[in-house]
Amino acid sequence: MIEIIDLKKSFNVKVVLDGVDLAIEDGKTTVIIGRSGVGKSVLIKHIVGLLKPDSGKILVDGKDITKMGEREFTEVLKRFGMLFQGAALFDSMTVAGNVGFPLKEHTDLADKDIRGIVTEKLRRVGLVGVEDMMPADLSGGMKKRVGLARAIVMDPEIVLFDEPTTGLDPIMSDSIANLMSETQKALKTTYIAITHDIALTYKIADMVAMIYEGKIIEHGAVEEMKKNANPVLRQFLAGSAQGPIKVY
């Protein structure tokens, strides 16, 4: 279980996270929603240690990762996988090189065995025969799929998704949503996604949290959230310019 307690982060004078409290349940998909620039990416980057908080705690199975030394945190990171917004595939490697990279770095598996696992993970995300292609030759949707295959190749306990459908057409977005849903159910992994895509949220979320003005203002099961009367949440879910959320 991941618990975020009173997490604060500012960049110069701009307060981005102003005391975030959130508990993420194991084996479920939690979707963190909020407007662009509200601090969703900042929050997710704290969970994987890419940013250090000004104050607050992030507990993974009760241990505060913000206080860990590099070696201890490296072991924690091996339990994570992450799909970046632009997939962040290594340009210099083939698809197979990208997906098999964590296995090559962290295991003693033979190249042949790694290739087998890579092919299986690629098949799981709906890609066949792309092993020797370069990332530059892939479409946006294919890159995301390869990124997902790489994120799950080590069978992590927790997978984080940074805007998984941004930049994709609605059909490809739905396809990625289906894929996330299927892989989560099959692997029983904890999925944490940040997005402003409401269709994706409804499709994959078990739990939804909304971040607004540096805080989690609502958190609950997706069905509860649909009925929630909070005007900020209602406006966001409705995708309306009219309401308490200021449009700049």
Partner 1 sequence: MRELFERLGRMAVTAVTVTGNMFLILAQAVYFIFIPPYKLRNIVKQMEFVGVKSLFVVILTGSFTGMVLAMQSFNALKRFGAESLVGPTVALSMARELGPVLTALMVTGRAGSAMATELGTMRVTEQIDALYTMAINPVKYLITPRIVAGLSMLPILTVITDFVGVIGGYFVGVTLLNINPGVYIGRTVDFVNVDDIMYGVTKSFFFGLIITLVASYQGFYTTGGAEGVGRAATNAVVVGCVLILVSDYILTSIMF
Q: Which residues bind partner 1 (CB under 8 A)?
A: 45, 48-50, 70, 74-75, 77-78, 80-82, 84-86, 88-91, 101-102, 105-106, 160
> Least Å distance between CB 163 and partner 1?
11
Task: Map residue 58 onto helix, strand or coil.
Answer: strand
> Least Å distance between CB 4 and partner 1?
17
Of 210, 236, 229, 207, nearest in space to 220 by CA: 207
Measured from the CB atom, is 73 or 202 closer to partner 1? 73
> Least Å distance between CB 229 and partner 1?
37
Measured from the CB atom, is 161 or 212 closer to partner 1? 161
Measured from the CB atom, is 10 or 74 closer to partner 1? 74
Per the listing, tokens 């307060």 go with 15
List of E strands, the chain: 2-11, 14-24, 29-33, 55-60, 63-64, 80-83, 158-162, 190-195, 207-212, 215-221
> Least Å distance between CB 50 and partner 1?
6
- Give burial (CB, 10 Å; 0-12/13-18/19+) of 202: middle
Measured from the CB atom, is 37 or 231 closer to partner 1? 37
